[in-house]
Chain A
Amino acid sequence: MSPLPEDLDLITIQRRLNTRIIGTILMRYERVASTNDIAKERARSGYPEGLTVLAEEQVAGRGRLGRSWVSSYGDALLLSVLLRPVWLPPGEAFSLTMMAGVALCEAVEQVASVRAQLKWPNDLLLFADGEWRKSAGILTEVSVADDTIEWAVVGIGVNVNQTPASAVNGRNLQQTATCVSAAAGRQISRSALLEALLAALDERYAQLQSGERGLLFADWRARLARLGEPVTVTLPGGELRGIAEDVAPDGTLLLRDAAGVLHMVHTGDVGF
């Protein structure tokens, strides 16, 4: 086994962390299929919430629907956080998406001093090379049984110091993606970003648990890019074009097409 990059030091990170739940257990791997898979396995074997799984390399990193997510060894932050929000009705699981997106923006803004936006519902957009580009993705997996959320695994992949230089899902990432350091114009400390992210998640999770969902929604909505502008949404069954008028309190994207019909979008990829 080759030595792990030393810039992420769990002892130092945990000593500096002052979180209530998130990151109280940190597990670091060199190579995994995906950090979500490991965290889900741990969820099923009864691990407490807050467990955070880190890896340098994912051989089967995933986005939606089995799409791949690639990253550069030692230059990305790949993590999955286990949550057990049994107090959250499954119908409000979308709050977890909002929480993760907002926390990620806050951490990046704090550490890199750049503005961060979200592409609905929770892709991180940073301004680099003249446009807003994706530099992180979040995939949340939830297990619901008996009308209760048993566990949720929030998987986050951030391009920190390098933009992956490959074609994925038919798209050349260099043309659409960026990394935090490119937006900031300097190298970014992965460990500082990780600490800020775990702290922001902890704070936002506490806020959600205390019932302040309205505040979380307002912060999430304020970060959404392109509200009021034309977008194309790729749905499971085709494409929709229209104006992204707004989002409903449950996070649904409200898109008005050329015929004036308002569509409620729960699922889909937004393109500009």
Chain B
Amino acid sequence: MSENERNRTESIEEEFGLSAVRELLRIISETDVSEISIERGTTRLHVKRGPSLHHHAPAPMFVTPSIAATVQPSAPPIGLVQAPVQTPPPATPAPEPDALPPGKIIAAPMVGTFYAAPSPKDPPYVQEGDIIHAGDRVGIIEAMKMMNEIESEFSGRVVKILVQNAQPVEYGQPLMVIEPLS
């Protein structure tokens, strides 16, 4: 390594942290990313697949004018919140809490539609009897075209799944019961 290269590498490490640089090099070497550009403060690092590794010294910023927020006339009050509102009843009403088998409950963190699998073609994330670990995905709740992956906070055995695929769920509704393993 030449003096020049060493200086360059050290200066990159100083700005970005050694672990960040290692991670960057790992990504470049192990994945098929074509190009990475990182900005931290006034320093930019740009890596392009191939023999060249450029370290861009701090340069004057070309500042794009920030977008002026489009001014919208303020919306009239909704006034519908008090209107009688009917929600289609859930296909399977949530059982009373005392009807649940003992164990830890995974509850819906939001209102939406529960999906047991990532897409209709895929098998469900979990089935009754499966052993899962904390952090495992157990389902998706969709609301407003947002797919919310639900992770289990607990490790254990899935003893009961309380909702069906494509069923509407309410906030806090129990989705499944996990029996901790002793």
Taking Cβ atoms with an 8 Å cutoff, the residues of A that contact B are 1, 4, 10-11, 13-18, 23-31, 62, 64-66, 90-91, 93-94, 96-97, 105-107, 109-110, 121-122, 138-147, 150, 195-196, 199-200, 203, 217-219, 221-223, 236-237, 245-252, 254, 261-264, 266-267
Q: Which residues of A lie under 8 Å from residue B32 when comparing CB positions?
A: 1, 29-31
Could you list some 19 contacts between A and B, CB below 8 A? A1-B49, A4-B35, A11-B37, A18-B63, A18-B64, A27-B27, A28-B35, A30-B34, A93-B110, A93-B143, A93-B146, A106-B67, A122-B144, A138-B145, A140-B145, A140-B146, A140-B147, A142-B149, A262-B84
A122 to chain B, nearest CB (A): 6
> Which of B5-13, B38-46, B96-104, B125-133 has 4 or more CB atoms under 8 Å from chain A?
B38-46
- Other A-B pairs, 8, CB within 8 Å; known A144-B149, A264-B85: A10-B37, A27-B36, A66-B118, A139-B145, A222-B75, A249-B81, A252-B144, A263-B87
- Considering the chains assembled together, what is the distance between the CA atoms of A18 and B112 in angstroms? 36
- Considering the chains assembled together, what is the distance between the CA atoms of A199 and B38 in angstroms? 16
On whether A199 and B80 interact (CB within 8 A), knowing A64-B145, A263-B86, the answer reads no
| Contact call B144/A94, Cβ cutoff below 8 A | yes
Q: Which residues of A lie under 8 Å from residue B67 when comparing CB positions?
A: 106-107, 110, 196, 199-200, 203
Q: Which residues of A lie under 8 Å from residue B78 when comparing CB positions?
A: 246-249
- Considering the chains assembled together, what is the distance between the CA atoms of A106 and B72 in angstroms? 11
**Number of interchain pairs (Cβ within 8 Å):** 196
Interface size class of B (residues with CB under 8 A): 35 or more
- Considering the chains assembled together, what is the distance between the CA atoms of A14 and B36 in angstroms? 11
- Considering the chains assembled together, what is the distance between the CA atoms of A250 and B85 in angstroms? 14
Q: CB < 8 Å: which of B39, B148, B151 contacts A14?
A: B39
- Considering the chains assembled together, what is the distance between the CA atoms of A262 and B105 in angstroms? 32
Q: CB < 8 Å: which of A13, A141, A245, A246 contacts B149?
A: A141
Q: Does B173 contact A (CB under 8 A)?
A: no
Q: CB < 8 Å: which of A90, A109, A141, A221 contacts B110?
A: A90
| Contact call A139/B64, Cβ cutoff below 8 A | no
Interface of chain B: mostly helix, strand, loop or mixed: loop
A169 to chain B, nearest CB (A): 12
- Considering the chains assembled together, what is the distance between the CA atoms of A264 and B78 in angstroms? 14
Taking Cβ atoms with an 8 Å cutoff, the residues of B that contact A are 27, 32-40, 44, 46, 49, 56, 59, 61-64, 66-67, 69-70, 72-75, 78, 80-81, 83-88, 91, 109-113, 115, 118-122, 135, 142-151, 153, 166, 168, 171
Q: When A and B form their complex, which 10 residue pairs have the shortest distance between CB atoms, in order from nearest?
A: A66-B119, A236-B166, A10-B37, A267-B113, A145-B151, A90-B109, A222-B72, A28-B35, A121-B144, A218-B75
Q: CB < 8 Å: which of A15, A29, A105, A109 contacts B62?
A: A15
On whether A91 and B111 interact (CB within 8 A), knowing A107-B67, A145-B153, A246-B78, the answer reads yes
- Considering the chains assembled together, what is the distance between the CA atoms of A214 and B91 in angstroms? 33
| Contact call A203/B66, Cβ cutoff below 8 A | yes
On whether A251 and B33 interact (CB within 8 A), knowing A147-B109, A245-B80, the answer reads no
Q: Which residues of B lie under 8 Å from residue A13 when comparing CB positions?
A: 37
| Contact call A237/B150, Cβ cutoff below 8 A | no
Q: Which residues of A lie under 8 Å from residue B109 when comparing CB positions?
A: 90-91, 144, 147
